[in-house]
Amino acid sequence: LVNLQTLNLRNTGLKSLPNDIGKLVHLRYLDISWCDLEILPKSITRLVNLQTLNLRNTGLKSLPNDIGKLVHLRYLDISDSGLEILPKSITRLVNLQTLLLNYLRNLKELPRDLNRLAKLRVLGIAECQSLKYMPDGMKRMTCLNTLPLFVVAKRDSSINHDGVDELEDLRALRNLKGRLKIRIDRKYAYNKELIGGGGGYISNKEYLKGIDIQW
């Protein structure tokens, strides 16, 4: 099976992967969603030709620290898993176009250098209820067209932080479509720019079907 390119184990009740799965170096598609998997073998990072990795609805609590070695990965779905922290190396997946983190209710933050994923089109963070803030520099992610949630909250130690920096990032994301929920920290209720959507932060989103603002 060393030449295997597609492996679909979806909904098989699988609890573990063999430690030598890394030998399938020609694998491009791996689906182990809806399984009882709790840990990935370290050798999975040897699958350097992998383009699609579906880990949706598993019991995974973490990803390998060097998952960034999967440089050809274009699609990664970790939604509905037990993941609480994303490894920093995930920002090395420079060819990633879709990153789905929906329903990771204990995820508190996104990687600081997320803007390195310049080709990312879909960032699924719907129902990430514990997400504290958005990483700096998201305005560089101009390929983004799907972003269900944007959080405006203090993300550094700045004393005079007023939430405008985050909305500057949001303004640059002109190609967003679908629905967008903007969750604003109640501390900024005094800021009329945030309340009224001044500065073109929202008005330039011509492809969006709906915007929900939550305090």
Residues 46-93: tens digit of each pLDDT: 999 999 999 999 999 999 999 999 999 999 999 999 999 999 999 999
Residue 192's pLDDT is 57
Region 113-141: mean pLDDT is: 95
The helix/strand/coil state of 8 is strand
Report yes or no: 48 and 22 within 8 Å, Cβ to Cβ: no
Rounded CA separation 167/151 (Å) = 9
**CA 173 – CA 212 distance, rounded (Å):** 16
Domains in the chain: boundaries? 1-131, 147-215
User: Residue range 110-129: average pLDDT?
Assistant: 97
Where in 58-148 does DSSP place strands (E)?
A: 75-77, 98-100, 122-124
Confidence of residue 158 (pLDDT cuts 50, 70, 90): low
161: pLDDT strictly greater than 70: no
- Top pLDDT among 173 and 190 is at 173
Paired strand residues for 124:
100
User: Are 27 and 3 in contact, with CB atoms under 8 Å apart?
Assistant: no
Q: Which two tokens stand for residue 172?
A: 């640059």
CA angle 70, 79, 140 (to 5 degrees): 60
Q: What confidence score (pLDDT) does residue 191 get?
A: 60
CA triple 69-44-75, angle to 5 deg: 65
Which 8-state DSSP code applies to residue 152? E
Q: Give the pLDDT of residue 156.
A: 60
| 113 vs 90: CA distance, rounded Å | 9
- CA distances in angstroms from 125 to 47, 66, 80, 133, 148, listed in the order given: 26, 22, 11, 12, 6
- pTM strictly above 0.85: yes
Q: Which tokens hold the place of 7?
A: 């492996």
Contact (CB, 8 A) for 144 and 123: yes
What is the overall mean pLDDT for the chain?
Answer: 90
170/165 Cα distance (integer angstroms): 9
Share of the chain above pLDDT 90, in %: 73
Considering the domain delimited by 1-131, tell me its CATH architecture: Alpha-Beta Horseshoe (3.80)
